[in-house]
């Protein structure tokens, strides 16, 4: 089967990473998968990306399933040849009305967060295609590993994008530092623009911290393994990639419900908090005080996230295709 996706670029972002990961799985299963971008530029953050082509290549090609994640290139999708054209709704920050309500397109939701949004605002029930995470690449550290004497709080460091909530998470740590002077903040990011780099250069906090930049993506597990607690404070996320990766690494999580409705069960697989520094600080403090709870959430989180691997998501999509084909064959006018 031939599958493809129309993307605005291949720079590192959640939406792009989703299809690089899915493409790997589809190819493993014997299918072809192509990432189409305006000029066919390959990603510079991974070497295992498969086939990259430009929009101009679409005129001579046909796919069984062709995905898109934004409305900017809707005409490119409509002009392309594909049996099923799918709008994969991956971010609540994208204006999606003209995509979700277009009867020529099928809509997928990357999480229950997105599915609820589409039902509330558009009265549409999208196909739930939740996930994912690479549980082979992100794995729990050896239980015998001894961490440094400080208690390390890991935060995704994309500070330029306010919706990521990096500053809110840092402020929460600042609330706790006087009472718990042994805490340390660890941030990481791969900035994809000069503005993002400048925001990081201007970052400051009185809590001891380390900012890791441009770390090899395939080795991000080593960053997670340095953490005692992961904190996420996103807003409007479709699927919280870093939360999923932290859970896969066996790191207890304190996070908002943004992009996490499928994976964070309060006090079982993580702690769900409100998106303000006081609430987040309260969640962090609960874990500081209770090593037992940290261990429980770490174990439960890892077990639960195994239900949301990229492999399972790829199978869900292939099953959807088979169901659509079966339905088409039994249609009265077939």
Name the nearest CA neighbour of 209 among 242, 163, 240, 171: 171
Tell me how many helices (H) and strands (E) the chain has. Answer: 11, 13
Chunked mean pLDDT (size 10), the chain, 334 residues: 97 92 97 97 90 96 97 97 98 92 97 97 97 96 67 96 97 98 97 94 97 94 97 96 98 98 98 98 98 98 98 98 93 69
pLDDT value of residue 331: 76
pLDDT value of residue 261: 98
Phi and psi dihedrals of 286, rounded to 5? -60, -40
Residues 108 and 324 sit within 8 Å (Cβ to Cβ): no
> 6: helix, coil or strand?
strand
Beta bridge partners of 4: 34, 66
pLDDT value of residue 61: 96
The DSSP line for 186-202 is EEEE---SHHHHHHHHT
> 213: helix, coil or strand?
strand
pLDDT value of residue 148: 61
Burial of 261 (0-12, 13-18, 19+ CB in 10 A): middle
Q: How far are the Cα atoms of 13, 116, 142, 296, 330 from residue 17, in angstroms, in the given order?
A: 6, 23, 27, 29, 36
The DSSP letter of residue 309 is: B
State both tokens at 10.
């291949």
State both tokens at 185.
């903040």
Q: How far are the Cα atoms of 26, 199, 222, 261 from residue 20, in angstroms, in the given order?
A: 10, 27, 21, 24
State both tokens at 122.
């558009």
> 34: helix, coil or strand?
strand
């Amino acid at each position: 089967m031939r599958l493809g996706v129309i993307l605005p670029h291949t720079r590192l972002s959640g939406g792009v990473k989703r299809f690089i990961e899915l493409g790997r799985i589809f190819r493993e299963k014997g299918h072809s998968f192509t990432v189409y971008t305006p000029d066919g530029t390959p990603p510079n953050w991974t070497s295992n990306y498969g086939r990259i082509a430009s929009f101009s290549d679409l005129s001579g090609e046909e796919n069984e399933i062709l995905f898109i994640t934004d409305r900017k290139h809707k005409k490119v999708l409509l002009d392309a040849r594909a049996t099923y054209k799918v709008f994969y709704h991956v971010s609540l920050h994208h204006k999606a009305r003209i995509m979700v309500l277009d009867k020529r397109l099928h809509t997928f939701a990357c999480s229950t967060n997105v599915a609820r949004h589409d039902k509330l605002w558009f009265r549409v029930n999208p196909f739930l295609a939740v996930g994912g995470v690479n549980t082979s690449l992100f794995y729990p550290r050896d239980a015998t590993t001894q961490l440094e004497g400080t208690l390390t709080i890991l935060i995704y460091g994309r500070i330029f994008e306010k919706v990521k909530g990096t500053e809110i998470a840092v402020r929460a740590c600042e609330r706790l530092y006087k009472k718990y002077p042994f805490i340390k903040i660890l941030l990481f990011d791969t900035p994809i623009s000069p503005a993002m780099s400048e925001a990081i250069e201007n970052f400051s906090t009185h809590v001891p911290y380390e900012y890791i930049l441009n770390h090899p993506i395939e080795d991000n597990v080593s960053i997670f393994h340095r953490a005692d607690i992961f904190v996420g404070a996103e807003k409007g996320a479709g699927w919280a990639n870093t939360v999923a990766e932290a859970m896969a690494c066996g790191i207890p999580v304190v996070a908002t419900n943004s992009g996490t409705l499928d994976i964070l069960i309060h006090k079982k697989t993580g702690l769900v908090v409100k998106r303000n520094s006081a609430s987040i600080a309260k969640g962090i403090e609960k874990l500081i005080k209770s090593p037992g709870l940290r261990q429980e959430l770490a174990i439960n989180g890892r077990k639960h996230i195994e239900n949301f691997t990229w492999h399972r998501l790829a199978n869900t999509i292939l099953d959807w295709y088979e169901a659509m084909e079966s339905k088409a064959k039994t249609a009265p006018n077939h």
